[in-house]
Amino acid sequence: ESVEFQIEDQEFRLKPDHELRFEVENKNETVVLELKTGLAEIFGTELVKSKPYKFYFGAKIAVFTWQGCSLRLLGKKGISYISKETPMMSYLNCHASLEQLRTKSEEEKVRGPITMVVGPTDVGKSTLCRILLNYSTRMNDLGRRPIYVDLSPGQGQISVPGTIGAVMVERPAEVDASFSQAAPLVYHFGHTKIGINSTLYNILISHMAEVIHQQMDENPRINYPGLIINTFGWIKGKGYQHLTHIALAFEVDVILVLDEERLYNKLVRDMPGFVKVVLLPKRRGVVQRRNKFKLEGREARIREFFYGSPRNVLHPHTCLVRFSDIKVYRILAPPIPNALMSLDTQKTDFKPKLEGVTPGLNMMHHVLALSFSTTVEEDVVRNSVAGFVCVTNVDTSQQMLTLLSPQPKPLPETIYHMSDVQFIDNNA
């Protein structure tokens, strides 16, 4: 079925419904891809003919063609192969069903489809979300703006790890970048593992769902196209309860289950009848990331937040702040007894508390989230966050912190949330 090649400078001819898969396996290596003839796409974004696309270390790519194409790949010592085993047909069918629901909601002037993608880690959940969002904005003469919601704090795709967020999607993502991020809605969770503070996670989910529903009610452009919600790979035990909490809080209409029949059966049993649960095949070729690679991925996300990417370089600043001039808090939330981990945490009304953190060595390398609130009296926990800094040095004798920051000066009167997430800035 598949043949393996060494990439150096090679041309590939793909028949309709085939894909070319390749990885950039070594640091400091780039691979350049060009579409020579025909039509092709990468995770739902169409390629422009003869335009060179560069890929860097860690990229795991599938170039798919519906019509057939020829491609050129330039780069060193990677493994690549062509496959005809792709789930693209069933993904396209999903997209078509969603489009029908969108048209229907436009006609009836009601909320569009709320879709949630679930499944274990590394089955292609993020990839499926990307394809569905790209397809829905490809021919966007209607000015539709579906919302991408990423609820996995381990990846932190919308912002940095330790957060969950949402972003309006206006057009397909660039081949080598994530969706362009005008004013994302970001909530600080502070951990990469949800289980560390399940209460807080559920509170944030309920609140975020409310905020997004309200935005949808006010704006038809985002209301009719609906939401695509990406979730985490923790599908057993408490993780499953979190998934059902998300489904109820966001009032999902469609759940796409990747590659897990047991999860599919459980959801069919537990979800209200109007929720359509669909089992989809796992993407072949989806690469299992080792734990080390996941850590590197997290680090890369934070590095990108501060320093940008090769195609969009950013120049962050270094600021000195006196211990006495900075207000840092940590969010505490009481652990929920298992039986109470019910579907409506908002009704059980646990109040998360803020605890002041005294600046010192304990902050070294930690990410701090900038709250939109300026006083602790405001609902600091439920408020979304405006940005991030990272503590790159702690000087206890001078009582000073060094912060890596996108802004030249730290804003006065800012309240910071300390994250568990750490980033070691090699440039500092």
Sites of contact with ligand ADP (CB under 6 A): 21, 60, 62, 121-127, 233, 283, 285-287
Q: Which is nearer to ligand ADP, 125 or 245 (CB)?
A: 125
Q: Annotated binding residue at 360?
A: no
Rounded (10°) CA dihedral 395, 400, 402, 405? 160
Q: Cβ 322 to ligand ADP, closest distance in Å? A: 42
Radius of gyration, alpha carbons of the chain: 22
b/e per residue, 57-86, with b = 16+ CB within 10 A?
ebbebbbbbeeebebebebeebebebbeeb
How many Å apart are CA 273 and CA 261, to the nearest integer? 18
Q: Cβ 24 to ligand ADP, closest distance in Å? A: 11
Q: Cβ 331 to ligand ADP, closest distance in Å? A: 26
Q: Cβ 62 to ligand ADP, closest distance in Å? A: 3
Nearest to 333 by CA among 198, 162, 153, 152: 198
For residue 206, give the 3-state DSSP assignment.
helix
b/e per residue, 20-38, with b = 16+ CB within 10 A?
bbbbbbeeeeebebbbeeb
Q: Which is nearer to ligand ADP, 126 or 414 (CB)?
A: 126
How many Å apart are CA 320 and CA 308, to the nearest integer? 22
Q: Assign 3-class secondary structure to 94-151.
A: HHHHHHHHHHHHHHHCCCCCEEEEECCCCCCHHHHHHHHHHHHHHCCCCCCCCEEEEC
Q: Which is nearer to ligand ADP, 151 or 363 (CB)?
A: 151
Within the chain, how many helices (H) and strands (E) appear?
A: 8, 26
Q: Cβ 103 to ligand ADP, closest distance in Å? A: 28
How many Å apart are CA 290 and CA 37, to the nearest integer? 36
Torsion-angle region of 308 (φ positive above 0: left; ψ -120 to 50: alpha; else: beta): left
Q: Annotated binding residue at 127?
A: yes
Q: Annotated binding residue at 277?
A: no
Q: Which is nearer to ligand ADP, 123 or 277 (CB)?
A: 123
Q: Cβ 61 to ligand ADP, closest distance in Å? A: 6
How many Å apart are CA 266 and CA 144, to the nearest integer? 33
DSSP-derived letter for residue 306 is H
Q: Which is nearer to ligand ADP, 60 or 382 (CB)?
A: 60
For residue 69, give the 3-state DSSP assignment.
strand
Rounded (10°) CA dihedral 33, 161, 365, 199? -170
Residues 6+ apart with CB under 8 A from 405: 316, 317, 318, 319, 389, 390
Q: Which is nearer to ligand ADP, 119 or 410 (CB)?
A: 119
Q: Cβ 88 to ligand ADP, closest distance in Å? A: 9
Q: Annotated binding residue at 126?
A: yes
Q: Which is nearer to ligand ADP, 276 or 294 (CB)?
A: 294
Q: Which is nearer to ligand ADP, 285 or 387 (CB)?
A: 285
Q: Which is nearer to ligand ADP, 44 or 112 (CB)?
A: 44
Q: Cβ 308 to ligand ADP, closest distance in Å? A: 20
How many Å apart are CA 404 and CA 420, to the nearest integer? 17
Q: Annotated binding residue at 60?
A: yes
Q: Cβ 128 to ligand ADP, closest distance in Å? A: 7
Q: Annotated binding residue at 327?
A: no
Binding site, by residue number, is 19, 60, 122-127
Residues placed in the known binding site for ATP: 19, 60, 122-127
